[in-house]
C-alpha cells in the first residue's frame, strides 16, 4: 500500500509539472485539467511489467537447425519500454545468406516440398496454424516485448489474425491448378502454374509477425522455399514461430531465417543470383535500393510494399463523432507506425473547427504506457532512432507554422514514448503533410469541395490507401474511382482481412499481398503445347 501511495504521489507530481510546462500550449486551460490528461499519458511511470515469456531462439535458422552466424557476431535487440537489452541475436552476413540460400536451393531442387501434393502441404500449414493458436499468448508477449505494441492488441487481434492468415493459405495449397486453353489448330494446350523457386523475403519491424505470415503463407502454399530476413529491431517473434513451423512438419531447408542489417544481409538477399523472387516491405528509399540490386543481379521479379501518406477525407455530411474516432484510430494505431496510416486528415471547412476540438480531446485522453498493462492504448515507439525522427517532425511542424493542438513532447526519459500529437492549420507544402512520419502525429488540413480534395489527395508520390467518411453514395462512388491508391476504406479503416489484397500505386510499391493476388507472386506460368495427330474428333 505504501508503494502504491508513493507511486500515485510520484505520478501526480510528474503530471502537475508537465501540465505547468505545457500550459502555454493550451491557453486558458486549468492546471488540474491538464494534470489529469497528462496523468493518463504518464501511466508508464511505474516500473515495467516483467513479460510472461522467455527468449529461446536467437540464432539463425538454416537448413532446419538453429546455428550461430559464421562470424560469431551478435547484435542486441532492445525492449522499447526501457531501451534495455532483451537478448543478443546472431548477426547474419553474406556468408550466412549464402548458406541459407544453398539450403533453400537444395530443398527446392531436390527436396520433397515442391513435389508434395497440395493436400500434403496444406496439412502441414494447418498444423502450423493450430500451433500458433495453441501458443497465442506466448507469441503475443514476445511480440509486445520486442516491438512495444499493447499486449491486449497482440494477444486478441494480431496473433489470432496470423492464425487465420495461415489457415487461409493452407486452404489454397490444394487449389492451385493450371488450365487447358483452346488454340487455332490441332493442338492441345496446357497452362501450368509452377512454384517460382527460392523466394527472398525481407520483412519490416512495425508488424514483424503479420508480415511474416503475409509472405511465408503464400510462398509455402505454392511450393516454394524461402530465405527470410527479419528486421534487426524485431527478430524474436519470427524466429519463435519458425520453430513451430518445423514442429508442424516442414522439411529442413524449406524456410531459412536470418537476422541482420539491411546493407549486409538484406543486400545479399536482394542481389543473390540463386534467389528467384524478391519480396520486400519497408520504406520507399530502401525499396528503390533493393529493386536496383534485384535487377542488376539476375533480374529477379520483385514485389514491393513501401511507404505511404494516406489521405483521410471527412466530408461535411459525415457523422463527425464517428469520423473523429476512426480518424484517430487510423493515425494512432500501432503507435502511428503503419505504412497506410491516415496521416493527412482532410476535413471539410464547415466541420473543421468541431473536428479539431474533438480530435484534441481524443488525443488528450489516449492512454500511453507500458504495453503489458491493461487499458494501455499506445506503447513506446520501436527504438530511439524512430523516436528522434518523430520529434524532428514535430519540431518541423511547429517551425513551419502549424498549430500544435495536443501533445508534442517525449514522455519521460526511459524508453521511447511520445505524446499523442495533433496539429491543425496544416498546409500541403509542410513536411508533416508530405513526408512519412511513421509516428503518433496527426495533421489536420482544411478543404472546400470535392474537386479540390481529389486534386490535393492525389498530389503525393505515394498511393497506398485512403479513408473516406461520408453518407453520400455519389460522393463515395466519385472518390472510389478518383483516388489513386491501392485501398479505399469508406467509413472504416485498417481492415486487413486475409482475403483483401493490399499494395500501392505510384511509389508505394508494386504487386499485391494477401488474397488470391498474392499467390501470383510465387508462381511461374508455363505453356505446354502438344500437336494432335488425329484431331478429327474435335
Q: Give the residue numbers annotated as catalytic, written as ranges.
A: 305
Asked if 332 and 310 touch (Cβ cutoff 8 Å), the reply is: no
Q: Would you tell me the crossing angle of helices 450-458 and 473-482 to the nearest 10 degrees? A: 30
Chain centre distance of CA 240: 18
Dist CA 522 CA 201 (whole Å): 11
Strands (E), 354-498: 403-406, 410-411, 417-418, 421-424, 441-447, 465-469, 487-490
Phi-psi sector, 415: left (phi>0), alpha (psi -120 to 50), beta: left
The alpha carbon dihedral of 116, 120, 126, 127 has a sign of negative
Q: What three-state secondary structure class fits 87?
A: strand
Residue with cell 501518406: 309
Strands (E), 407-500: 410-411, 417-418, 421-424, 441-447, 465-469, 487-490
Q: Count of CB atoms within 10 A of residue 266's CB?
A: 25
Beta partners for residue 346, in sequence order: 313, 445
β-pair type (421-424, 403-406):
antiparallel
Q: Cα–Cα–Cα angle for 532, 537, 538, nearest 5°?
A: 70
Dist CA 20 CA 12 (whole Å): 12
231-253 per-residue burial string, b: 16 or more CB within 10 A, e: under 16: bbbbbbbbbbbbebbbebebebb
**Of 42, 28, 130, residue with least CA distance to 369:** 42
From residue 466, how far is each of 65, 171, 239, 308, 331 by CA, in Å? 43, 30, 33, 10, 12
Asked if 213 and 191 touch (Cβ cutoff 8 Å), the reply is: no
Residue with cell 539463425: 60
Amino acid at each position: 500500500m505504501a508503494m502504491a501511495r508513493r507511486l500515485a504521489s510520484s505520478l501526480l507530481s510528474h503530471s502537475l509539472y508537465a501540465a505547468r510546462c505545457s500550459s502555454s500550449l493550451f491557453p486558458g486551460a486549468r492546471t488540474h485539467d491538464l494534470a489529469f490528461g497528462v496523468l493518463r499519458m504518464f501511466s508508464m511511470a511505474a516500473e515495467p511489467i516483467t513479460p510472461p515469456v522467455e527468449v529461446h531462439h536467437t540464432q539463425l535458422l538454416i537448413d532446419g537447425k538453429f546455428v550461430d552466424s559464421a562470424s560469431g557476431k551478435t547484435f542486441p535487440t532492445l525492449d522499447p519500454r526501457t531501451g534495455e537489452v532483451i537478448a543478443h541475436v546472431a548477426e547474419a552476413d553474406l556468408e550466412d545468406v549464402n548458406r541459407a540460400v544453398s539450403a533453400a536451393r537444395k530443398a527446392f531442387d531436390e527436396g520433397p516440398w515442391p513435389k508434395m501434393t497440395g493436400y500434403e502441404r496444406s496439412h502441414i500449414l494447418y498444423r502450423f496454424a493450430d500451433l500458433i493458436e495453441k501458443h497465442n499468448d506466448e507469441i503475443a508477449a514476445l511480440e509486445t516485448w520486442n516491438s512495444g505494441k499493447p499486449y491486449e492488441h497482440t494477444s486478441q487481434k494480431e496473433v489470432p489474425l496470423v492464425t487465420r492468415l495461415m489457415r487461409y493459405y493452407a486452404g489454397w495449397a490444394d487449389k492451385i491448378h493450371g488450365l487447358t486453353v483452346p488454340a487455332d489448330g490441332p493442338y492441345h494446350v496446357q497452362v501450368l502454374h509452377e512454384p517460382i523457386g527460392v523466394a527472398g523475403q525481407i520483412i519490416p519491424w512495425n508488424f514483424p509477425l503479420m508480415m511474416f505470415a503475409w509472405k511465408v503463407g503464400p510462398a509455402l502454399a505454392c511450393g516454394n522455399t524461402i530465405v527470410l530476413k527479419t528486421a534487426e529491431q524485431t527478430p524474436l517473434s519470427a524466429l519463435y514461430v519458425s520453430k513451430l513451423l518445423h514442429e508442424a512438419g516442414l522439411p529442413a531447408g524449406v524456410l531459412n531465417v536470418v537476422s541482420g542489417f539491411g546493407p549486409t544481409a538484406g543486400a545479399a538477399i536482394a542481389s543473390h543470383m540463386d534467389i528467384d523472387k524478391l519480396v520486400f516491405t519497408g520504406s520507399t528509399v530502401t525499396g528503390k535500393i533493393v529493386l536496383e540490386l534485384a535487377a542488376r543481379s539476375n533480374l529477379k521479379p520483385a514485389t514491393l510494399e513501401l511507404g505511404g501518406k494516406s489521405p483521410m477525407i471527412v466530408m461535411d455530411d459525415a457523422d463527425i463523432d464517428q469520423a473523429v474516432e476512426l480518424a484517430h484510430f487510423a493515425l494512432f494505431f500501432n503507435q502511428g507506425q503503419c505504412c497506410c496510416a491516415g496521416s493527412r486528415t482532410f476535413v471539410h471547412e464547415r466541420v473543421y473547427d468541431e473536428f479539431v476540438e474533438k480530435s484534441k480531446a481524443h488525443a488528450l485522453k489516449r492512454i500511453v504506457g507500458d504495453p503489458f498493462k491493461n487499458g494501455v492504448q499506445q506503447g513506446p515507439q520501436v527504438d530511439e532512432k524512430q523516436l528522434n525522427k518523430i520529434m524532428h517532425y514535430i519540431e518541423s511542424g511547429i517551425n513551419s507554422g502549424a498549430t500544435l493542438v495536443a501533445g508534442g513532447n517525449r514522455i519521460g526519459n526511459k524508453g521511447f514514448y511520445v505524446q499523442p500529437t495533433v496539429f491543425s492549420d496544416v498546409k500541403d507544402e509542410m513536411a508533416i503533410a508530405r513526408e512519412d512520419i511513421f509516428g503518433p502525429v496527426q495533421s489536420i488540413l482544411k478543404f472546400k469541395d470535392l474537386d479540390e480534395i481529389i486534386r490535393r489527395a492525389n498530389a503525393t508520390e505515394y498511393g497506398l490507401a485512403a479513408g473516406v467518411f461520408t453518407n453520400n453514395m455519389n460522393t463515395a462512388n466519385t472518390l472510389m474511382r478518383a483516388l489513386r491508391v491501392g485501398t479505399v476504406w469508406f467509413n472504416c479503416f485498417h481492415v486487413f482481412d486475409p482475403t483483401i489484397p493490399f499494395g500501392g500505386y505510384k511509389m508505394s510499391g508494386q504487386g499485391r499481398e494477401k488474397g488470391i493476388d498474392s499467390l501470383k507472386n510465387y508462381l511461374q506460368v508455363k505453356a505446354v503445347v502438344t500437336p494432335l495427330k488425329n484431331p478429327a474428333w474435335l
